[in-house]
A and B are shown apart, each in its own frame.
Chain A
Amino acid sequence: MNAFTWVEVTTAEQAVAQLSAARGGSALLKAGGIDVLDRLKEGLDAPERLIVLRRPTAGSKSTLSEISEIPASRLPDSITRLLPAGNAGDAPQPRDCLRIGALVTLAQIASHPTILRALPALAQAAHAIATPQIRAVATIAGNLLQRPRCWYFRSADFHCRKKGGDECFALDGENEYHAIFDNRTCAAVHPSGAAVALLVLDAIVEIQTASGTRQQRLSAFFVSASQQGGDVKRENRLEPGEVITHLYIPLPSPDERSLYLKSKQKQSFDWPLCEVAISVRRAPSGAGSLLQAARIVVGGVAPIPWRAKAAEAALLRLSKLDIESVRAIAQAASDGARPLAKNGYKVPLCQGVVAQAVMQILSNA
């Protein structure tokens, strides 16, 4: 690890100011620090200044480290306008939301009563991440922003595209754990399990910028190299010097359900081979189909959390629950997959995990 200057701040504004002040030198933001320390120890980053965003000391409060319910009546317009509309064409209406501060830890999320009750996909995803020790320290924003775990990227010995090099070593290398979608520029998979869950929950991310704050749907936050505005060296649209401050998640209505499943080789601390989050809203009885809304997002298969739109469409057409229909929906989850030499198994795996998720959520719905 290189020697660096520790710059400690307690507000996002300070953090942004410090990050922008570092021009001419390098600065890196640390919250929980799990991913940052990993990168520093591997020599992937060597900042001159580590900007440490801390919880304020006891006594003073900060929304950065809080989970709170924001009633619809107090929801800022900037959030409301990004909520999903009830019906196509309608303007979104304010809804009760849960606001999660950027410094909230994964352990807090995994055990929070409201999240456990209303947003089970998020609680399950947070619980499935890493180890109890890491979850106690790692923050939700850090989880969203951590860099991929691709073993070529994580080794300083490989100057890959993500580091400004001109090749992806995984493409004809050891790619068993790599992407099956959108993998021709960089085959690393997105590492955030929480993102997979947050995406099916229509989460909105709030970002501190040098001039104020901006809000964005999380579904528009992650971007792969091949997408418009994509940059292989980044996994999202957070600009240099910006800091995530909060997540807003609309609290579901009684007819909505969500869940998250993670398929991992090892049950104690492992990254997913494939993970899926699903949320559905039941259709009123007599509607012909079982559901009126569905989201399926698959992780571990693409450079960003992967929305399985064909599977969602198939799920929305479902009129009765049987194994054959579930298998057909699952089949659609891998539409467009182009596996590499050693990760062909992720195609049936992705289908299998989606099938289990669909079966489980419909059995419980």
Chain B
Amino acid sequence: MSRAEVLVGLVGADATLQSRELPDGVPPSWRESSTLAVVGKPTQRIDGSDKVTGRARYTPDIKRPGLLHGKILGSPHPHARVHGVNISDAEAQPGVKAVVVLPHLLGGAKLESEKARGKLVPVVRYLGQPIAAVAAETPEQAKAALARIKVDFEVLPHVVDPDEALKPNAPLVFSGPVSMSGSAGGGGAKGGIPQKGNLRGPKRGAPRGKDAAQMEQAVAAALRSGQTVVRGTYRTQVQTHSALETHGLTAEWAGDELTVWASTQGIFSVRDELAEYLEIPTSKVRVITDFCGGGFGAKFGAGNYGVLAALLAKKAAAPVRVCLDRREEHLAVGNRPASEQNIALVSGKDGKLAAIELRGWGAGGAGAGAGFAGPANNVYGHCPAIYTEEFDVFTHTGPLAAFRAPGHPQGAFALEQAMDELAEKLGIDPLELRERNDPHPGRRLERQKAAELFGWSRRTLAGQLPPEGALGHIRRGLGMAQGCWYYFWSDDSHAEVRIHRDGTAEVLAGVQDIGTGVRTPLAQVVAEELGIPLASVKVSIGDTRLPVGPGSGGSVTTGSITPPARDAAYQARLSLCKEVAPLVGAKDLAPGPGGKLVGTAAGKPIELSLKQAAAKLRKEQVSGTARRKPDYDAAATNGRAWGQTGGVQLAEVTVDTLTGIIRVERIVAAHDCGRPLNPLLVESQIHGGIIQGISYALFEERRLDRRTGRMLNANLEQYKIAGALDVPRIDIALLEDLHGRTSTDARGIGEPATVPTAAAVANAVYNAIGVRLRELPLTPARVLAALAAPATGTAPR
């Protein structure tokens, strides 16, 4: 340990030098990025040309000699008991090399009693639930053989609608208490929570460090206090992840060793799950992910498709590829749960929040879907009384998976609309209301910057901007919302950096690129530390043979893996100094600024570039390794809300009151993510978060036929995703928010960018038409119904 001066705060605002306790073996802390050569500069992706030329190999592109094609038999019923599966006819079909039955199901909630019994789960709880699989020489042969698998189903009554599931005599999804394991992307539900019918809960929540029972009483007291109260019920829909590359895995055995190519956000979680499921040593499983065509939270673990691929490959003694089709992707590999949220805000006339109460349910199919209380408990955490109560509602539909900022877009949709309503009721500007309740320094600056960029002063009260269009049917509205995410990291993140004799370097880290482009910031931090050009750094990721890295979820990747990468580069420099010092006669040779090695030889100062020093090596390379250090000096908070990432978005919309069609014309987004290592790539991710948020706000919804439980829009045509013509002008203000916690000070941006968007759009729609829509998506049907309804201010259902 040693003390050092570290720059802490918002660069260009309140950043100051502070003294911090630094652990041993870390390089000196960087100052603001304008003082750096590579880090913090908009930098094109080092693997960009692979992606634009089609050279980048994704899981379905992997060809192996003798590759077979696997197809999965999913249940055609949403609820059934399986009494038997006969595969012999299927095995005899032309081209078929193996048929297997899934031993037990991964994903979703599990009955405690079933877990105890282990192995086979004889109950189908959602349509599309995997039952068996076939590997054949061609995909068509495999598909044809699926029809020859005979499953003895006892079809049971089902319920796919949460409202129906809550009725007293609804068919039960689970006959007893359940729990659900989480993934690196979140999710999970502990056991021991009351469960009645299809309703499980409550899970009682309060801000960190507060007692839920006390908070419940405090909220009740505030509600009785005679202060201003705003109440509302908000509903959100099921959204499917719909990564453009479906889930998939190719498995190949060599003796007792298994190699898989997986489309995943977590190579190590795939490895561990396969090893556990197949009861083989971890060391015998290798997972490779060169490129992954998007995950958004749904691609952790081996998946049932992955297990089936491995089992088929074993049985067929040949490599097997199982890649889902678009329909299976919608049905069986995760979604963002639906929610109903009843929220109440209590405030004094001065706009100071006195209480926040949130009660409601989340419906994640055959999984635990609650988890939307994050914004309520954290964004206005200074509010003296906050209490949340959440339930899971089970239905016979595919289980949820973590989805980009799990729970937060839902929670923000309710909370931020309620704040908007409160602002109107109190006659306070919505931005000012946040100002009075949210001291987070990042968001404070973000509100200011966003408002300037946006021209927030144009905003009027709802419905007061002049109508546009020949029939006066176009109404314009402006709205805002904000959100939070958390500073998570995985300390089990390791990197190795090798410096070669020619002055080039290699960084090895077991992370994977899900689209965020992690290769590039890895190369940047190493290039910066070593003082060499970016092109001289080779990055190897996406293989479990590399040092263990974090799963790419929770916006942890950059903040977890770039510090050890820089630290390893620093360690490699130390090694280089040690090797070269005797050769140049400078015993004190040590790392200096700009990647230089500095010391004294024969009484004179000498300075070597990395390339000069490496050229003197008498061995092939020097290398350094590092593990992600705990955050520096955890005690030194200095009043900074360092555990939370902010984000403020302002939206401008038009609403065609004749057709109900909403167009988002502009979003201004102000965000912080620690030190933005590569603003160009950060900007890409913010665009993505906003566009997914608009898509969630206006278009996306899993549509089910209640009678049969079937999904009606399991495609990319009627499951509507925003395209290029649906995207507004987007302007971004990106803060440089230094925390002095790690050697790179980086944090993730993937999740915070999507949190406030739907709420900001909804608030802008209210501002345009003066009617509040409290249910997502904001469809023309809902807009027209709301405009036609008597002015009760409640949205149609």
Q: Is A137 an interface residue (CB 8 A)?
A: no
B661:A263 contact, CB within 8 angstroms: yes
Q: Is B88 an interface residue (CB 8 A)?
A: no
Q: How far is the CA of A38 from the CA of B788 in the complex (A)?
A: 38
Most buried by A among B659, B699, B710, B726: B659
Closest chain B CB from A100 CB (angstroms)? 26
A356:B722 contact, CB within 8 angstroms: no
A326:B471 contact, CB within 8 angstroms: yes
A352:B658 contact, CB within 8 angstroms: yes
**Contact with B785, one of A3, A274, A345 (Cβ below 8 angstroms):** A345
Q: Is A176 an interface residue (CB 8 A)?
A: yes
Closest chain B CB from A278 CB (angstroms)? 14
Q: How far is the CA of A360 from the CA of B470 in the complex (A)?
A: 8
A266:B726 contact, CB within 8 angstroms: yes
Q: How far is the CA of A152 from the CA of B723 in the complex (A)?
A: 25
Q: Is A28 an interface residue (CB 8 A)?
A: no
Q: Is B36 an interface residue (CB 8 A)?
A: no
Q: Is A1 an interface residue (CB 8 A)?
A: yes
A266:B659 contact, CB within 8 angstroms: no
A330 closest partner in B (C-beta)? B658
A169 closest partner in B (C-beta)? B705
Interfacial chain B residues near A363, Cβ < 8 Å: 470
Closest chain A CB from B359 CB (angstroms)? 28
Q: Is A344 an interface residue (CB 8 A)?
A: yes
Q: Is B720 an interface residue (CB 8 A)?
A: yes
Q: How far is the CA of A264 from the CA of B699 in the complex (A)?
A: 11
A268:B703 contact, CB within 8 angstroms: no
B779:A265 contact, CB within 8 angstroms: yes
B722:A266 contact, CB within 8 angstroms: yes
Q: Is A323 an interface residue (CB 8 A)?
A: yes
A157:B785 contact, CB within 8 angstroms: no
A269 closest partner in B (C-beta)? B723
**Could you tell me the dominant secondary structure of chain B's interface residues?**
loop
Interfacial chain A residues near B140, Cβ < 8 Å: 1, 3
Q: Is B636 an interface residue (CB 8 A)?
A: no
Taking A323-B471, A342-B781, A359-B471 as contacts, is the C-beta distance between A151 and B703 under 8 angstroms?
yes
Q: Is A273 an interface residue (CB 8 A)?
A: yes
Taking A174-B703, A268-B723 as contacts, is the C-beta distance between A356 and B710 under 8 angstroms?
no
Closest chain B CB from A281 CB (angstroms)? 21
A173:B780 contact, CB within 8 angstroms: no
Encode A64-89 as 1/0 by CB contact (under 8 A) with B.
Answer: 00000000000000000000000000
B469 closest partner in A (C-beta)? A356
A1 closest partner in B (C-beta)? B140
B662 closest partner in A (C-beta)? A265
Q: How far is the CA of A149 from the CA of B788 in the complex (A)?
A: 28
Categorize the interface residue count of chain B.
Answer: 35 or more
For window 6-56 of chain A, which residues contact chain B by CB distance below 8 Å? none
Q: How far is the CA of A355 from the CA of B787 in the complex (A)?
A: 17
A349 closest partner in B (C-beta)? B659
**Contact with A348, one of B698, B718, B724, B788 (Cβ below 8 angstroms):** B788
Interfacial chain B residues near A349, Cβ < 8 Å: 658-660, 780, 784
Interfacial chain B residues near A343, Cβ < 8 Å: 781
For window 718-761 of chain B, which residues contact chain A by CB distance below 8 Å? 718, 720, 722-726
Taking A151-B703, A173-B706, A267-B726 as contacts, is the C-beta distance between A356 and B473 under 8 angstroms?
yes
A151:B712 contact, CB within 8 angstroms: yes
For window 640-680 of chain B, which residues contact chain A by CB distance below 8 Å? 656-661, 663
For window 157-185 of chain A, which residues contact chain B by CB distance below 8 Å? 157-158, 169, 173-174, 176
For window 71-116 of chain A, which residues contact chain B by CB distance below 8 Å? none
Encode B786-797 as 1/0 by CB contact (under 8 A) with A.
Answer: 011000000000
Q: Is B707 an interface residue (CB 8 A)?
A: yes
B710:A157 contact, CB within 8 angstroms: yes
Q: Is A188 an interface residue (CB 8 A)?
A: no
Closest chain B CB from A332 CB (angstroms)? 15
A352 closest partner in B (C-beta)? B658
Q: Is B84 an interface residue (CB 8 A)?
A: no
A151:B725 contact, CB within 8 angstroms: no
Interfacial chain A residues near B470, Cβ < 8 Å: 356, 359-360, 363
Q: How far is the CA of A363 from the CA of B470 in the complex (A)?
A: 9
Interfacial chain B residues near A158, Cβ < 8 Å: 705, 708, 710
Closest chain B CB from A144 CB (angstroms)? 20
Taking A345-B785, A348-B784 as contacts, is the C-beta distance between A356 and B658 under 8 angstroms?
yes
Q: Is A319 an interface residue (CB 8 A)?
A: no
28 contacts between A and B (CB under 8 A): A151-B703, A152-B712, A157-B76, A173-B706, A174-B704, A174-B705, A176-B779, A263-B659, A264-B661, A265-B779, A266-B698, A266-B699, A268-B722, A268-B725, A269-B723, A323-B471, A323-B472, A345-B660, A345-B781, A348-B660, A348-B784, A348-B788, A349-B784, A352-B658, A353-B658, A353-B659, A355-B473, A360-B470
Closest 7 A/B residue pairs (Cβ): A268-B723, A352-B658, A267-B725, A151-B712, A345-B781, A268-B725, A345-B784
Residues of A within 8 A of B (CB): 1, 3, 149, 151-152, 155, 157-158, 169, 173-174, 176, 263-271, 273-274, 323, 326, 342-345, 348-349, 351-353, 355-356, 359-360, 363
